[in-house]
C-alpha cells in the first residue's frame, strides 16, 4: 500500500475510533439492551451494534471499494483478504462492558491484500489508544513502545489466559495447563483479547493464550505485537489465518517455543 494512502487511512481510522469511543462514554449510563448469542454468557448489546454501524457508515461513505469484516454482521461477507479489508470488533470485551462498564476496547485492523498495515486498539474508558503501522512501530497514546527486550524467561513471566484452560476442555489436558500456570510467575485474565494483545505489545504480559478467537478479536493485535518483535500463532505454532476462527497464542519471542513444546504439545488432545 502506498504510504500517502496508508497515512490517510490511519488518520481517518484514528479519528473515527476516538469519536466512537467518546460516544460510548457519553452513553455509558443510558439503558441498553443485552441479548445472548451462542450461549447464555455470549453477550451482545445495542452499543455493540450501534458502534459497528457507525464504522460501516463512515467507511462505506469515504472508502466505497473497501470491505468490512466485523463481528455483529453489518459488514460484508468477507471470505478472503483480497483488496483492502477493515477487520473490526466494535466492542471487544462485551461481558466487561455489561458487568463492569470498563475493561473493553474497540479494535480495528486494516489489511491490504492480506498484509496487516494498520492496527488500532482503543481502551475506551481509560482513553488509551494503542496503534501500529507496519514497519513504523507500535505506539501507546502516541509514544513508541520499545522492542521487546531479549531473554524473557517463563519463570519470570506473566501470562494472560482464561481459567477454562484449567477445566476439562477439548484442546489440551488440564494437567498440562496447570503445570504452565505453576511454572509461570503469574497469570491474568482480562476478558478482552484485543487488550491482552496490546498488553503483550506493551510488555506488561509476556504472553496470551486463548482457545477460540475470530479475526476481529486479533486483527489489530497481531500487527501491534509484530511491530515490537513478538510472535503470534495458533496453539500449535501454525501461522494464523485472518478469515477463520482459531486458537491463538501470542507472546514474547523467547518463551514462545518453550510454552508450545513443553506444555501445550505435551497435553495436546
How many other CB atoms are there within 10 angstroms of residue 32's CB atom? 15
Contact by Cβ (8 Å): 252, 148: yes
Instruction: Establish if 202 lies at the interface with Ca ion (CB under 5 A).
Output: no
Comparing every residue's Cβ against ligand 2AM, the nearest one is 193
Q: Which three cell numbers stand for residue 198?
A: 496490546
Q: How far is the CB of 265 from Ca ion (least distance, A)?
A: 27
The C-alpha cell at 178 is: 496447570
- The partner in contact with residue 206, picked from Ca ion, ligand 2AM, none with C-beta cut-offs of 5 to 8 angstroms by kind, is none
Which of ligand 2AM, Ca ion, none sits in contact with 213, Cβ below 5 to 8 A by type?
A: ligand 2AM
Count of residues in contact with Ca ion, rule CB under 5 A: 5
What helix, strand, coil percent values describe the chain, rounded to 5?
A: 40, 25, 35
Q: Does 92 bind Ca ion (CB under 5 A)?
A: yes
Residues 6+ apart with CB under 8 A from 114: 81, 82, 242
**Could you tell me which stretch among 49-57, 81-89, 158-166, 240-248 binds Ca ion (CB under 5 A)?**
81-89
CA dist 208 and 235 (Å) reads: 10
Is 89 a binder of Ca ion (CB under 5 A)?
yes
Q: How far is the CB of 48 from ligand 2AM (least distance, A)?
A: 8
What DSSP designation does 77 have?
-
Q: Which residue, 52 or 184, has its beta carbon nearer to Ca ion? A: 52
Contacts to ligand 2AM by CB under 6 A: 38, 42, 71, 89, 92-94, 162, 191-193, 213, 217
217 binds Ca ion (CB under 5 A): yes
Strand-by-strand arrangement of the 207-213 sheet: 186-188, 158-161, 207-213, 246-251, 231-233
CA distance 87 to 71: 9
| DSSP letter for each residue of 135-158 | TTEEEETTEEPPPPPS---GGG-E
Single residue of 71, 196, 206, 227 touching Ca ion by CB under 5 A:
71
Report if residue 226 touches Ca ion, rule: CB under 5 A: no
Q: Smallest gap, in angstroms, from Cβ of residue 160 to ligand 2AM?
A: 9
Minimum distance from residue 192 beta carbon to ligand 2AM (Å): 5
Write down the least CB distance from residue 184 to Ca ion, Å.
24
| Spatial distance between the Cα atoms of 202 and 225, rounded to a whole number of angstroms | 8
| Residue 18 cell numbers, joined | 476516538
Q: Give contact residues for Ca ion (rule: CB under 5 A).
A: 71, 89, 91-92, 217
Amino acid at each position: 500500500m502506498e504510504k500517502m494512502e496508508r497515512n490517510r487511512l490511519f488518520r481517518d481510522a484514528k479519528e473515527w475510533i476516538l469519536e466512537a469511543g467518546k460516544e460510548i462514554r457519553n452513553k455509558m449510563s443510558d439503558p441498553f439492551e443485552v441479548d445472548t448469542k451462542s450461549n447464555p454468557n455470549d453477550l451482545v448489546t445495542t452499543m455493540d451494534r450501534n458502534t459497528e454501524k457507525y464504522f460501516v457508515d463512515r467507511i462505506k461513505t469515504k472508502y466505497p471499494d473497501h470491505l468490512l469484516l466485523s463481528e455483529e454482521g453489518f459488514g460484508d461477507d468477507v471470505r478472503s483478504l483480497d483488496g483492502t479489508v477493515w477487520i473490526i470488533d466494535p466492542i471487544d470485551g462485551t461481558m466487561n462492558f455489561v458487568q463492569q462498564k470498563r475493561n473493553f476496547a474497540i479494535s480495528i485492523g486494516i489489511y491490504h491484500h492480506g498484509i496487516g498495515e494498520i492496527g488500532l486498539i482503543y481502551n475506551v474508558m481509560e482513553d488509551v489508544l494503542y496503534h501500529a503501522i507496519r514497519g513504523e512501530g507500535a505506539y501507546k497514546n502516541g509514544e513508541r513502545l520499545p522492542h521487546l527486550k531479549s531473554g524473557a524467561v517463563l519463570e519470570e513471566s506473566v501470562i494472560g489466559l482464561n481459567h477454562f484452560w484449567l477445566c476439562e476442555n477439548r484442546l489440551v489436558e488440564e494437567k498440562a495447563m496447570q503445570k504452565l500456570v505453576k511454572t509461570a510467575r503469574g497469570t491474568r485474565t482480562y476478558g478482552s483479547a484485543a487488550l491482552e494483545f496490546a498488553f503483550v505489545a506493551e510488555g506488561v504480559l509476556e504472553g496470551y493464550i486463548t482457545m477460540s478467537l475470530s479475526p476481529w478479536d486479533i486483527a489489530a493485535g497481531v500487527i501491534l505485537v509484530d511491530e515490537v518483535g513478538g510472535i503470534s500463532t495458533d496453539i500449535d505454532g501454525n501461522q494464523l489465518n485472518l478469515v477463520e476462527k482459531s486458537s491463538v497464542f501470542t507472546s514474547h519471542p523467547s518463551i514462545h517455543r518453550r510454552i508450545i513444546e513443553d506444555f501445550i504439545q505435551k497435553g495436546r488432545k
